[in-house]
C-alpha cells in the first residue's frame, strides 16, 4: 500500500447543502491529511478540460451548468491507498445505488448530484491535482 494524493471536488450540491464540513470530517476520521484546500468558481475552460471525456456528449452542457452554478471546493487529500479508500467511502457514482453509510448514500441524490468528484486512478489524480492546484498550493508536513 502506497501513500498517494488524490483530488476531491466538493460539488455545488455539497456547498449549497452546507455539508462540506461533515463530509470532510469523514475523510479526516480515516486519517487522511489535507495537502491543499480552496474554494473556486469553475469556468468553461477548466470544465471542458476536466470533463474532456464527455465534452462532446449532448449532456455536457447540463454538467457544465451544474458544476458552475456556485463555487466548488477543491481538496488535495493524502493517505495510504487514499484513491481507493475515498472512492469506497463515497460509494457508487449514482447516489441512487449507494448504500446508506456511504457519503453518496447519505447525502447524494442521483448520478450528477452526488456530493463529490474523486480521482479514480493515480494517473488521473496527478493530472487533476495539476489542473486545480498550483505547486505552491500543495503542502507536505
Q: What is the CATH number of the domain that holds 109?
A: 3.30.70.141
Q: Find the mean pLDDT for residues 83-108.
A: 98
Whether residue 74 has pLDDT greater than 90 = yes
> What is the SS3 assignment for 58?
coil
**Res 43: pLDDT:** 97
Residues 26-59: tens digit of each pLDDT: 999 999 999 999 999 999 999 999 999 999 999 9
Range of the domain at 39: 3-137
Q: Find the mean pLDDT for residues 102-118.
A: 98
- As beta bridge partners, residue 78 has 5, 33
**Res 102: pLDDT:** 98
- The C-alpha atoms of residue 15 and residue 82 are separated, in whole angstroms, by 22
Q: Which of 20, 75, 117, 129 is catalytic?
A: 117
The number of domains in the chain is 1
- The C-alpha atoms of residue 134 and residue 64 are separated, in whole angstroms, by 23
Percent residues over pLDDT 70 in the chain: 100
Q: Find the mean pLDDT for residues 114-118.
A: 98
- The C-alpha atoms of residue 108 and residue 53 are separated, in whole angstroms, by 23
- The C-alpha atoms of residue 96 and residue 98 are separated, in whole angstroms, by 6
Whether residue 1 has pLDDT greater than 90 = no
Whether residue 141 has pLDDT greater than 90 = no
Burial label, 78 (beta-carbon count in 10 A; 0-12, 13-18, 19+): middle
Q: pTM higher than 0.75 for the full model?
A: yes
Is 50 catalytic? The answer is no
Amino acid at each position: 500500500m502506497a501513500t498517494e494524493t488524490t483530488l476531491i471536488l466538493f460539488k455545488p450540491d455539497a456547498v449549497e447543502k452546507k455539508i462540506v464540513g461533515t463530509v470532510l470530517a469523514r475523510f479526516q476520521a480515516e486519517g487522511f491529511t489535507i495537502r491543499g484546500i480552496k474554494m473556486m468558481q469553475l469556468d468553461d475552460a477548466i470544465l471542458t478540460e476536466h470533463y474532456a471525456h464527455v465534452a462532446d456528449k449532448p449532456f455536457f452542457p447540463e454538467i457544465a451548468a451544474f458544476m458552475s452554478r456556485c463555487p466548488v471546493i477543491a481538496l488535495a487529500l493524502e493517505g495510504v491507498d487514499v484513491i481507493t479508500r475515498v472512492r469506497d467511502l463515497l460509494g457508487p457514482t449514482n447516489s441512487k445505488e449507494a448504500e446508506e453509510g456511504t457519503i453518496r448514500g447519505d447525502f447524494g441524490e442521483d448520478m450528477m448530484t452526488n456530493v463529490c468528484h474523486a480521482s479514480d486512478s493515480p494517473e488521473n489524480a496527478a493530472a487533476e491535482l495539476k489542473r486545480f492546484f498550483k505547486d505552491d498550493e500543495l503542502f507536505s508536513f
